[in-house]
């Protein structure tokens, strides 16, 4: 199954050199719907490569990790020494807990409020300093074991943790959306984080409905509240065209001034790799 994967984004600088892997930071996004990875050159301080795959053929963690090994092997990176590795878990089994109420001994019970965590799941937690909260998340023990075996020093974090910690504070209410293939994270900020949730969608109408309904619950209107998009979405998409009928101020996350990219990523929209950059920071 993994052999059928083909990248829909594969951009690398001409000076990418696998023999310089020890100076590269590798970030990997992992989900059963697909995977991606980026390379950051620590010497020249720039992102030099990005590759994205999407597939419905990855049925379990073994398939997912096997696919990852194949795509890294294609770049000669499988057994190379790397500066560092960050693995970004992009599955939706996670829950936010106020820091004051968090007890690491109760991770399974905290997840149990929203999910039914099974014994084959590993549970971890990210501290969200900006929001005084903890993001408790689960992913398969099998995937955890493979990551530890391959990269013992790798950091493992959750995509929504990176998304939430990247949000700017705002005195005026603002909505932030991070889009994946068939779901999106949504956060509402006003001085602090007021709302966060994940929504699955099949059509552009589903997307707009969930976005507007959640906004209405907080008394917000698209006429006076901006919505900032990141993730796998373009200004020309049908989703944006529909949302523009209801939201006056639609924005896209902007590339930070301090971030440098090589020539290969010059034409790639920043929102596509925002999460990777947050993992590199």
User: Does residue 3 have a pLDDT over 50?
Assistant: no
Which of 89, 19, 17, 6 minimizes the C-alpha distance to 55?
A: 6
Report the percentage of the chain scoring pLDDT > 90: 88
Q: pLDDT category, 1, cuts 50, 70, 90?
A: very low
Average pLDDT, the chain: 94
User: Does residue 136 have a pLDDT over 80?
Assistant: yes
CB contact at 8 A, 209 and 233: no
Q: pLDDT category, 4, cuts 50, 70, 90?
A: low
Q: pLDDT category, 119, cuts 50, 70, 90?
A: confident
pLDDT of residue 130: 95
What is residue 68's three-state secondary structure? helix
From CA 135, how far away is CA 146, in angstroms rounded? 22
pLDDT of residue 117: 81
Cβ burial of 104 (10 Å; 0-12, 13-18, 19+) is exposed
CB contact at 8 A, 145 and 197: no
User: Does residue 129 have a pLDDT over 50?
Assistant: yes
Model confidence over 172-192: pLDDT tens digits?
999 999 999 889 999 999 999
Which of 56, 67, 58, 75 minimizes the C-alpha distance to 3?
A: 67
From CA 224, how far away is CA 269, in angstroms rounded? 26
Model confidence over 198-213: pLDDT tens digits?
999 999 999 999 999 9
User: Does residue 115 have a pLDDT over 70?
Assistant: yes
DSSP state of 279: H
pLDDT of residue 75: 96
pLDDT of residue 2: 44
């Amino acid at each position: 199954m993994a052999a059928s994967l083909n990248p829909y984004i594969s951009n690398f600088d001409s000076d990418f050199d696998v023999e310089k892997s020890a100076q590269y930071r590798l970030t990997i996004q992992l989900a059963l719907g697909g995977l991606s990875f980026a390379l950051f050159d620590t010497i020249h301080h720039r992102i030099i490569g990005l590759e994205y795959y999407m597939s419905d053929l990855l049925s379990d963690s073994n398939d997912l990790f096997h696919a990852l090994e194949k795509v890294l092997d294609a770049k000669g990176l499988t057994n190379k020494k790397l500066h560092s590795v960050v693995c970004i878990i992009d599955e939706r089994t996670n829950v936010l807990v106020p820091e004051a109420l968090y007890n690491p001994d109760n991770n399974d019970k905290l997840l149990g409020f929203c999910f039914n965590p099974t014994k084959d799941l590993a549970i971890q937690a990210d501290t969200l300093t900006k929001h005084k909260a903890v993001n408790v998340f689960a992913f398969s023990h099998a995937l955890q074991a493979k990551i530890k075996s391959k990269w013992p020093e790798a950091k493992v974090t959750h995509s929504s943790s990176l998304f939430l910690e990247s949000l700017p504070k705002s005195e005026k209410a603002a909505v932030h959306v991070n889009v994946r293939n068939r779901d999106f994270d949504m956060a509402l900020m006003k001085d602090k984080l007021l709302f966060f949730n994940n929504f699955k969608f099949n059509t552009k109408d589903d997307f707009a409905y969930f976005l507007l309904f959640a906004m209405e619950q907080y008394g917000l209107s698209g006429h006076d509240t901006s919505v900032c998009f990141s993730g796998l979405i373009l200004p020309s998409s049908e989703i944006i065209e529909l949302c523009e009928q209801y939201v006056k101020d639609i924005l896209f996350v902007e590339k930070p001034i301090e971030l440098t990219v090589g020539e290969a990523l010059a034409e790639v929209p920043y929102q596509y790799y925002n999460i990777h950059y947050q993992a590199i920071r």
